[in-house]
Amino acid sequence: MTQFEVQAFQNEYLPAGGTEVHAILTVRASGAALSPASGPPAVVVVIDVSGSMNNPRHKIREAKKATQEAIHCIRDGSLFAIVAGSEGAQQVYPPTYGLVAASNATRDEARKAVGRLAPSGGTAIGSWLTHTRFLLGSVPASVCHAILLTDGRNEDETPDELAAAVKSCEGMFQCDCRGVGTDWDVEELRGISSRLLGSVDIVARADGLSEDFRSMMQQAMSRSTGDVALRVKTPVNAHVAFVKQVAPTVEDLTELRTQVDDRTADYPTGAWGNESRDYHLCMVVPPQDVGEEMLAARVNLMVGDDVACQAALHAIWTDDEELSTRINSEVAHYTGQEELSRLIDEGRAARDRGDLQEATLKLGKAAQIAFESGHDDTLKLLSNVVDIEDAATGTVRLRSNVSLEDDMTLQTRSTKTVRLKRT
């Protein structure tokens, strides 16, 4: 049985007239069972077989190899299916509609079926997701997961059709999205992964797919506790401004909330294995007199209908400037990490519209935050887009020739964060 614990970090003190309460919640899970009582996990792998996957020809070959590698990692007894995506969705395995329990025999059959795939047709990702929803909705599973690979944009559906398909899948399954090459749309796949509580990444070269697929499937198989949510209850006249996951990546959960009652809402966190994640909560409370104290929010971590653990967030009004201006180190760190992600997006957008001065300013500030927070990975990605003259001061120069691969990699991985090193 998975055990959860939560730890809250905040500065409770607000100045006179202050209304915003910020807190970081660290949630840790341990003891995850490999065979949950609520049923086996279920996973669907969706592989793009549109015509573009044959250009260059090794792309489809490596995609099939990666899918076969992922199939090898599916645990015995887990339910699975393979779907091929083009202008529609075609079930590859099992041969009849539905999912099948993993075994040596079924895994071998599935790998052979994948090996026979041939690319043709267009790209309609919404139909792939809809088919996956029907498949996963047909089985009693503890955790439902999908892995989706594409090399192109969703050109055979309107944006509204894709958005509707994604909306219909919310809460049904999680979805990790991967784009191979550089002809796909980062924001399109990020929109899917964010709404479906998964991850998104670029695999610029097809020969890197197998390792990535193996890692994704192993992680999916390690998660046995689903239907986990942060339930936030605020007092009268207070409300939640936002709830964001801030580690291991920045994901805004605010719009995914489900109202429980007028003062309570659930924010989904997806499925869990043995891991730790951090969340940034901001509550807006009515100002009180100096010396007054109030409960700003009570947060319960819900596993289904059960409370796994809880934390209380408080606000105390003071006229002591030293107390009210003291920023909690966890809150400060993740506020910086969120700003880093935002600055990269804004800097790239400014460059693309020709505002080079604004782009230099934004990307320079991003380099400075990455340097100060020890985010070496992001600093390295930034160095492929700008020449960093002095990271400590954020002094950079825009590069005149930036490869599409480097630019998309920075865009895709801009939401990854580093944790504060606690003493």
> What pLDDT score does 329 carry?
96
Distance CA 239, CA 254 (A): 12
- pLDDT mean over 381-393: 98
Residue in the structure block whose two tokens are 């007239």: 17
Q: Taking 60 as the threshold, does the pLDDT of residue 37 lie above it?
A: no
Cβ distance 415 to 344 under 8 Å?
Answer: no
Take residue 123 and report the two structure tokens written for it: 């790209």
Mean pLDDT score of the chain: 96
Instruction: Give me the phi and psi of 367, to 5 degrees please.
Output: -60, -40
Task: Tell me, rounded to whole angstroms, the distance of Cα 250 from its chain centroid.
Answer: 7
Cβ distance 120 to 51 under 8 Å?
Answer: yes
> What pLDDT score does 142 carry?
86
Convert the pLDDT of each residue in 54-85 to its tens digit.
999 999 999 999 999 999 999 999 999 999 99
Distance CA 1, CA 33 (A): 6
Side chain identity at residue 110, one-letter code: A
> What pLDDT score does 423 carry?
58
- pLDDT mean over 256-284: 97
> What pLDDT score does 150 carry?
98
Band of residue 39 on the pLDDT scale cut at 50, 70, 90: confident
> What pLDDT score does 32 carry?
79
Among 279, 281, 221, 283, CA closest to 248: 279
Distance CA 149, CA 131 (A): 15
Take residue 228 and report the two structure tokens written for it: 């986990």
Instruction: Give me the phi and psi of 309, to 5 degrees please.
Output: -165, 170
Ranges in the chain annotated CATH 2.60.40.3670 = 3-33+226-322
Convert the pLDDT of each residue in 92-103 to its tens digit.
999 999 999 999
Non-local CB neighbours of 320 within 8 Å, separated by 6+ positions: 13
Instruction: Give me the phi and psi of 140, to 5 degrees please.
Output: -85, 100
pTM equals 0.95
CATH class of 330-413: mainly alpha
The answer to whether the Cα torsion of 227, 232, 236, 241 is positive or negative is negative
Helix (H, G, I), strand (E, B) or coil at 287: coil
Convert the pLDDT of each residue in 175-225 to its tens digit.
999 999 999 999 999 999 999 999 999 999 999 999 999 999 999 999 989
Take residue 252 and report the two structure tokens written for it: 């805004």
Helix (H, G, I), strand (E, B) or coil at 78: coil
Helix (H, G, I), strand (E, B) or coil at 215: helix
356-373 and 329-352 are packed helices; what angle lies between their axes, rounded to 10 degrees? 150
Peptide bond into 159 cis (omega under 30): no
Cβ neighbours of 61 (radius 10 Å): 15
Take residue 97 and report the two structure tokens written for it: 């509609």
Q: Taking 70 as the threshold, does the pLDDT of residue 387 lie above it?
A: yes
- pLDDT mean over 169-173: 96
> What pLDDT score does 1 carry?
78
> What pLDDT score does 38 carry?
67
Distance CA 130, CA 134 (A): 6
> What pLDDT score does 350 carry?
98
Ranges in the chain annotated CATH 1.20.120.1690 = 330-413
Cβ distance 272 to 32 under 8 Å?
Answer: yes
Helix (H, G, I), strand (E, B) or coil at 75: coil
Among 312, 307, 329, CA closest to 421: 329
Convert the pLDDT of each residue in 295-354 to its tens digit.
999 999 999 999 999 999 999 999 999 999 999 999 999 999 999 999 999 999 999 999
Side chain identity at residue 385, one-letter code: V
Convert the pLDDT of each residue in 397-418 to its tens digit.
999 999 999 999 999 999 999 9
Cβ neighbours of 272 (radius 10 Å): 26
3-33+226-322 CATH pick, 3.40.50.720, 3.20.110.20, 2.60.40.1120, 2.60.40.3670: 2.60.40.3670
42-222 folds as Rossmann fold (3.40.50)
Helix (H, G, I), strand (E, B) or coil at 201: strand
CA angle, 152 then 156 then 160, to 5°: 100
Convert the pLDDT of each residue in 116-165 to its tens digit.
999 999 999 999 999 999 999 999 888 999 999 999 999 999 999 999 99
Q: Taking 80 as the threshold, does the pLDDT of residue 239 lie above it?
A: yes
Helix spans in 353-403 (H): 356-373, 376-383
Side chain identity at residue 281, one-letter code: L
Helix (H, G, I), strand (E, B) or coil at 247: strand
Residue 160 burial class via C-beta count within 10 angstroms: exposed 0-12, middle 13-18, buried 19 and up: exposed
